Amino acid sequence: MALLNIVSYPASVLATVGTAVEKFDESLERLAADMFETMYAAHGVGLAAPQVGRSLQLFVMDCEGTKIVAANPVILSAEGEQGGDEACLSLGSLGAELRRPAEVRLGAQDVHGNSFEVEGRGLTARCLVHETDHCNGLLFIDHLSPLRRDMLKRKFRKVLKRER
């Protein structure tokens, strides 16, 4: 296994709709294993392929006991609403309050291509929609009002400058 480089906003791969996963082979298994290792090292609960520079419909997640590899994920249903802060490994430590569905059902394929469905509520639901968004070229800041989004983007550019 190997640690992968996590891509930061505003990399274009983060704003690109991922390609569908069609080959469920050893290299996909290796990528998923590397993504888990990278996610754990960064203390995250989810990581999507575009975040490691691979424009694919693929994410890994280990959140509140739900540990999955999801290829070609689709949100099948979403119910209710929850408040709370959201953050992203591609946006450093910046977080923002964002309303998300309280309960979601996700359909996807595992690393071998077998279809499965998983339900999540609370933080798990938030993570499922956040990672599925990544596969579709969306970041959580894309759901904020233009004013709040611009504020966060400016803050993030400052953080990046300071780190370089």
Is residue 163 annotated as part of the catalytic site, yes or no? no
Q: Which is nearer to Zn ion, 21 or 47 (CB)?
A: 47
Catalytic residue among 37, 119, 131, 163: 131
Beta carbons of 109 and 71 less than 8 angstroms apart: yes
In angstroms, what is the minimal distance from the CB of 25 to Zn ion?
26
* Contact set for Zn ion, span 85-144 (CB under 5 A): 88
Can you tell me the distance from the alpha carbon of 156 to that of 160, in angstroms, rounded to the nearest whole number?
6
Q: Which is nearer to Zn ion, 71 or 131 (CB)?
A: 131
- Nearest by Cα to 50 from 60, 65, 40: 60
Q: Which residues contact 108 (CB under 8 A, 6 or more apart)?
A: 68, 70, 71, 72, 73, 74, 115, 116, 117, 118
* Binding flag, residue 61, Zn ion (CB under 5 A): no
Q: Which is nearer to Zn ion, 9 or 22 (CB)?
A: 9
Q: What residues form DSSP beta bridges with 84?
A: none
Q: Which stretch binds Zn ion (CB under 5 A): 5-13, 58-66, 84-92, 120-128?
A: 84-92
Active site residues: 131
Residues that bind Zn ion (CB under 5 A): 88
